[in-house]
Structure 1
């Protein structure tokens, strides 16, 4: 078994999906949780000056979705055909489109403009994405694609808190309940449930 070190901040953010996938795969790994005061020292030593980062037998790799996709392939969570993989990718990319639109507003420094942009997006932008994703998940029996567990489900389970932070709709779980189905499906896996309980 390779030596694996996974580095991210001490939060779920964009690292949790990878931690969950490593746990699902039964991979022993060093869960290195970076503090913000030590980050400036590590930053220039990472591939792209950002986290998360995974080291496999000493070689570094970055980009959260690239890592998640790799782990999905490794642990048999990509389907059986290239078209299966394409379906997962397209649906995860739709989720990421939503998160990126929210993140652009979240990073706005002018608070008045930020409030205006969010009001517009909550009314005219976010619901379209959320309704489509909710429909996709319902169609796939509580999964993001293929009607079964894939690496894309781990992305939703790990990043849902980040989604809610950048898409600030307090009734998101009530209006779009399918997201919780994905989260429940992932966290009901015995190894994931044990991991989650150990981090409380």
Structure 2
């Protein structure tokens, strides 16, 4: 009986519904993308993403690195905000947020089409605000980057995002951007 009571207490303490993000995108791509976040797989990363979204930090942030057949990266709230008067596309992708970097939360979730993962530097514990959405599976990322969610609606919008050039996929000219990011529960 004691174990049953403890199990019910744990269930009651958890979220009643899954957390998600609705991302309105504008540019060559236009529309809304819904991402279901994996609270149970990467709780610290999900908390950081939702905190930034609730603060409006992602609104106006560009997709700065987009590699055809691989992924689209965004989320640099420090240097990627296209509405900032000092915005410089050459700096987009080099920053994070005022929140601390996060310890990796690796899982057995694979990097498939539509998977959302956290971008980081060479240090596995350096993810902060940037994330990427997969155009196609990329098994070489499995267990190397934190998976935070998956696109459940609007993958056609992701597919339409303006592609970057060169090996690193840097977007040249007018980038697509996240107009508004809202947390859903």
Alignment TM class, shorter chain as reference: under 0.3
> TM-score of the superposition, structure 1-length normalised?
0.24
Q: Which has the higher contact order (CA 8 A, sep 6+)?
A: 2
Higher helix share: 1
Higher strand share: 2
